[in-house]
Amino acid sequence: MRTPFIEFLREHSRFVILSHVDPDGDAIGSALGLAWILRDAGKSAQVLLPGGTPELYAFLTGADDIGAVAADANLTDAAVIAVDATSPSRLGELASLLERGRPVANVDHHGDNARFGDVDLVDSSACATALILWEVAGDAGFRVSKAAAENLYAGVLTDTGRFSYTNTDQRTLQAAAELAGAGAEPFTIANAVYGTRTIASVRLLGRALETLDLREGGTVASIHVTQAMLRETGATQEDAEGFSSWPRSLAGVKVGIFLRETEDGMIKISFRSSEGVQIDGVAGRFGGGGHPSASGARISGSIEEAKQAVLQAVSEHLRSTV
């Protein structure tokens, strides 16, 4: 399964690595981790992310070299690797790089991946794309430096919710231990992502929790953040990182929903569900997708319109599966 991708890596010497819009820890950690692995193998690798690097992940080694705009002069003859992106549309404006005759590899752990590469390595049983890349490095005999291990560990840590989601298994924990052995520092990484909150973020969380709405006998919970709330608290979009876990954390809740109004007027929706409740189908109804217990989508309209539409869809889903 991994052999075609390993051959792809060996065949080419110059790479540009892309990931999805609104990049999370797995997107950034996977892209940077792979870049360090390739550089240590004597190859050239440049990471491009739509919008650049979120401040939350600026601590990762190599994050300051991430670009946001494709500079063709620097990408001549470069093969493209998309990581953690289910489809070209998830790459934002960088999707244009897929249309210029360059060889494309696609590495992902989402089951609804569109298989858009010349080479596709999709493993939905993996907790994170970073885990797949760690295993690829081992299979190929590539060196994994401290910098690469740090980034891949961050991807595994964040996509398992600090090893608390249902996608955490023996394979996950074994890889985490091996990455720590390769130089990743678990406390340092966890503290950087989860242990440091701005005052604005705490104030924003308080405002978000005030919007708590419980439905279906307390089995469905939602909270939201608007642009007005960001302005009032002095917070940024990144200060809302991690808010998606709060609604689901309430006792008795089967599905938690977090809605966030973005700067371009869209509504970003994050779904989290308890074990045994598959929510990716609901995300799919809104043009999104993801994992059975952690999915997302982006829709247009007001926050209230989006909230009512999503709550109704989730309620219908739960009733149909009882």
Give the pLDDT confidence score for residue 322 in this predicted structure: 59
| CATH architecture, domain defined by 199-321 | Roll (3.10)
119: left (phi over 0), alpha (psi -120 to 50) or beta: beta
What does the pLDDT look like over 79-138, one tens digit per residue? 999 999 999 999 988 998 888 788 999 999 998 899 999 999 999 999 999 999 999 999
What does the pLDDT look like over 151-189, one tens digit per residue? 999 999 999 999 988 899 999 999 999 999 999 999 999
Give the pLDDT confidence score for residue 107 in this predicted structure: 98
Give the pLDDT confidence score for residue 73 in this predicted structure: 45
Give the pLDDT confidence score for residue 274 in this predicted structure: 87
DSSP code at position 292: T
Give the pLDDT confidence score for residue 164 in this predicted structure: 87
Length of the chain: 322
Give the pLDDT confidence score for residue 53 in this predicted structure: 86
What does the pLDDT look like over 96-107, one tens digit per residue? 888 878 899 999
Long-range Cβ contact pairs of 190-195 (< 8 A, separation 24 or more): 190/157, 190/162, 192/59, 193/25, 193/56, 193/57, 193/154, 193/157, 193/158, 194/162, 194/242
Per-residue pLDDT at 3 exceeds 50? yes
Question: Which three-class secondary structure state does DSSP give residue 194?
Answer: helix
Q: How much is the average pLDDT of 61-65?
A: 93
Q: In what order do the strands lie in the sheet with 213-215?
A: 213-215, 220-225, 255-261, 267-273, 294-299, 289-291
What does the pLDDT look like over 274-317, one tens digit per residue? 878 889 899 989 988 888 888 899 999 999 999 999 999 999 99
pTM above 0.85, yes or no: yes
Per-residue pLDDT at 227 exceeds 80? yes
User: Do the bridges between strand 294-299 and strand 289-291 make them parallel or antiparallel, or are there none, so unpaired?
Assistant: antiparallel
What does the pLDDT look like over 228-256, one tens digit per residue? 999 999 999 888 988 998 999 999 999 99
| CATH architecture, domain defined by 3-194 | Alpha-Beta Complex (3.90)
Domain boundaries, the chain: 3-194, 199-321
Give the pLDDT confidence score for residue 74 in this predicted structure: 60
Q: How far is residue 118 from each of residues 67, 79, 81, 107, 270, measured CA to CA in Å?
A: 24, 11, 10, 11, 30
Alpha carbon distance 167, 81 (integer Å): 24
What does the pLDDT look like over 6-41, one tens digit per residue? 999 999 999 999 999 889 999 999 999 999 999 999
Question: Which three-class secondary structure state does DSSP give residue 59?
Answer: coil
Give the pLDDT confidence score for residue 70 in this predicted structure: 62
> In the chain, what is the greatest distance between 2 CA atoms, to the nearest angstrom?
58
How many Cβ atoms sit within 10 Å of the Cβ of residue 73? 6
